Structure 1
Amino acid sequence: MAAFAHSAPCWVDVQLPDLEAGKRFYGELFGWTFRAGEEVDRGGPCADALSGGKLVAALAGKQDGRMPTAWGIYFATDDITATVTRIRQAGGQMITEPVRVGGAGVLAQAADPGGAVFGLWQAGDRSGFQKQNEPGSFCWTEVYTRQKDRVDAFYEQVFGFRGTDLGAAGTGESGRGESGTGEPGTGRSGTPEAGADAPGPARSATGESGTGESGTSESGTSESGPVASGMSGSDADVPGVDFRMWSPAGTEPGPDTAIGGRSVITDVFPAEMPSYFLNYFAVADCDATAETGAHLGGRVSVPPFDIPYGRMAVLHDNQGAEFAVLQPPVSR
């Protein structure tokens, strides 16, 4: 398996109260099959998820009921000790210090200055995804925060990300502290009318913004550019949405190289709402996936809607974990 470039999203997993119920839900929803995941077990039951026989994610049974039921993102690092040092220097906190997971690799978990949790993975025998940007696999991630300036600076310092603010695509790198053009992003910074209980990609100032596709190949190279909501030129002057795309160090920042993004949670949402990452999975049919998710006992928090790069929705599984799905546009 090819190694991922430093700072590339390389893995996702979900912590669930009932592992077997999670396997039934995602097996029906994405067509995943499962195998025992002892080699990456962190003390509790764990299952590797496969799509077409290729690794795409892991499901883990929660050992502590106080832990959130949530999907987590992991970024690749070739030196986890050095990355941990940068995290602390940049104002982040370590949640789980580096721990070796058999021969698979070394993992750690951290929180950025806004409190959003993410993981680190230094590969051993396991690099990460064997499949992505295809139906049934990961395709994009983004963090939602109230402390954009601190968070932008943090990810630039820790991972070397180069930022492009939405509406400024193609203009090159946005320097530290220069984010916040007030131009359209993923819409979690917008008004909540389009959704009931939490911000979501559909809840922008226009009520139409979304996010989505891209991610990296196994080498960490972007394949298709992001689907940051409202990234079309016609949306460039919509006020109230603030989104920054991240491109890896050594690349020209912009949609073609973006591997993830940052949006802002504004004061229209409850102060107790934490910062967090939202992870996206590619699907062949967004509407059918949303319908199936609801039928399986999940909840559609943002119904399917069109964005310039396809059709997307935001769902919660039958145990409450939130994720998004994206159907790429049909080639013409």
Structure 2
Amino acid sequence: MAVQPVGAPCWADAMFGDLEGAKTFYGDVLGWTFGESQSEYGNYTQAYVNGKAAAAVVPPMPGQEEQPQWCLYFASDDAAATASKIRDKGGEVLMEPMQVGDFGTMCLARDPGGVAFGVWQAGSHEGFEVEMGEPGSFCWAEVFTREPEKSDAFFPAVFGYKAQQMQDDAMDFRVYNLGERPALGRMKMTEDFPPEVPPYINVYFSVENCDDAVATATKLGGVLRFGPMDTPFGRFAALSDPQGANFSVIDVTRTEGEMPAMTDVS
């Protein structure tokens, strides 16, 4: 895939205390294979689908042994300028822009409601290589937050999104678009989420068969949080891996129902 436009999700990685366990789990559930750990970059290990980069896993640095969680990166053509904009719009820069060899420049940040994410200015590493929708690929992501008004003000201001609100009284869901292309969803967390669960970005990975992926994940110690469920976008399920990182799987070839009505809000 070519370099993604500014604001598009372009990469995902996660820190795992048990790196080999994570490789086994995601290898079996998503069909990933893994490259050599790059010791000069903290044993950063890329995952591949048919030889194309899909995501990465990495062990935590000393003192950073926190709850594992997937981090989604958004494309930038100037990471330093994006970091400045993040601050200007009320966000927090957790890690200043840092050049990673000739691969590119990364930055880690949080929105005003506490949702963590990354920024990636591509060098030789342009991000996802697997075509979206191919089994094992990153497919979609949603901001889960208890303070949707903060995310709704922040993300469009930083990345230039236009927003649409789903017309559904049962849930508060919004889509952030880049031009005509949906880039990211935003879901208000309900009381169904335990208070200790922080706001986060939930990443979706494509699978050939949702039910088979769920069966494999739970057999390997993963926890089914929701689903499987048929939607107009595909059959999906929400899971936690054995180390506690949340993610979803979706079979985009199996769709059911009509697309929901959306209203432009910005």
CA, structure 1 residues 61+125, in 2 after alignment: closer, same or farther (shift >3 Å)? Answer: same
2:47 pairs with 38, 46, 49, which one?
A: 49
Tell me the equivalent position of 2:95: 96
CA, structure 1 residues 118+33, in 2 after alignment: closer, same or farther (shift >3 Å)? Answer: same
Instruction: Please state how far the C-alpha of 1:319 moved relative to its aligned partner.
Output: 1.3
2:204 maps to 1:280: yes
Q: Distance in 2 between matches of 1:91 and 1:299?
A: 35
Tell me the equivalent position of 1:299: 223
Tell me the equivalent position of 2:86: 87
2:59 maps to 1:61: yes
Q: Distance in 2 between matches of 1:2 and 1:62?
A: 30
CA, structure 1 residues 7+40, in 2 after alignment: closer, same or farther (shift >3 Å)? Answer: farther
Question: How does 1:17-28 map onto structure 2 within 5 Å?
Answer: 17-28=17-28
Structure 1: stretches of 5+ with no match in the other structure: 168-182, 184-238
CA, structure 1 residues 40+124, in 2 after alignment: closer, same or farther (shift >3 Å)? Answer: farther
Q: Which amino acid aligns with 2:46?
A: D
Higher strand share: 2
Instruction: Say which SS state the counterpart of residue 35 (structure 2) adopts.
Output: strand
Q: Distance in 1 between matches of 2:182 and 2:125?
A: 24
Instruction: Please state how far the C-alpha of 1:293 moved relative to its aligned partner.
Output: 0.6
Q: Which amino acid aligns with 1:245?
A: V
Tell me the equivalent position of 2:122: 123
Instruction: Say which SS state the counterpart of residue 36 (structure 1) adopts.
Output: coil
Q: Distance in 2 between matches of 1:156 and 1:258?
A: 12
Q: Which amino acid aligns with 2:30?
A: F
Structure 2: stretches of 5+ with no match in the other structure: 256-266
Instruction: Please state how far the C-alpha of 1:145 moved relative to its aligned partner.
Output: 1.1
Instruction: Say which SS state the counterpart of residue 273 (structure 1) adopts.
Output: coil
Task: Report sequence identity in percent.
Answer: 42
Q: Would you say how many aligned residue pairs link Structure 1 and Structure 2?
A: 254
CA, structure 1 residues 305+55, in 2 after alignment: closer, same or farther (shift >3 Å)? Answer: same
Instruction: Say which SS state the counterpart of residue 3 (structure 2) adopts.
Output: coil
Residues 250-299 of structure 1 deviation map (CA, whole Å, 9 limit, x = unaligned):
x24xxxx2111111123564444311100000111000000001111212
Between 1:320-329 and 1:301-310, the stretch displaced more is 301-310
Provide TM-score, normalisation by structure 2. Answer: 0.90
Q: Which amino acid aligns with 2:160?
A: G
Question: How does 1:232-311 map onto structure 2 within 5 Å?
Answer: 239-248=169-178, 251-252=179-180, 257-267=181-191, 269-311=193-235
Provide TM-score, normalisation by structure 1. Answer: 0.73
In 2, are the aligned partners of 1:19 and 1:46 still within 8 Å (CA)?
A: no
Q: Distance in 2 between matches of 1:311 and 1:303?
A: 9
Q: Distance in 2 between matches of 1:247 and 1:70?
A: 24
Q: Distance in 1 between matches of 2:32 and 2:40?
A: 18
Tell me the equivalent position of 1:217: none
Instruction: Say which SS state the counterpart of residue 190 (structure 2) adopts.
Output: coil
Tell me the equivalent position of 2:135: 135
Q: Distance in 1 between matches of 2:251 and 2:40?
A: 30
CA, structure 1 residues 244+330, in 2 after alignment: closer, same or farther (shift >3 Å)? Answer: closer
Q: Distance in 2 between matches of 1:148 and 1:300?
A: 25
Question: How does 1:314-329 map onto structure 2 within 5 Å?
Answer: 314-329=238-253
Q: Distance in 1 between matches of 2:190 and 2:40?
A: 37
Residues 167-211 of structure 1 deviation map (CA, whole Å, 9 limit, x = unaligned):
2xxxxxxxxxxxxxxx2xxxxxxxxxxxxxxxxxxxxxxxxxxxx
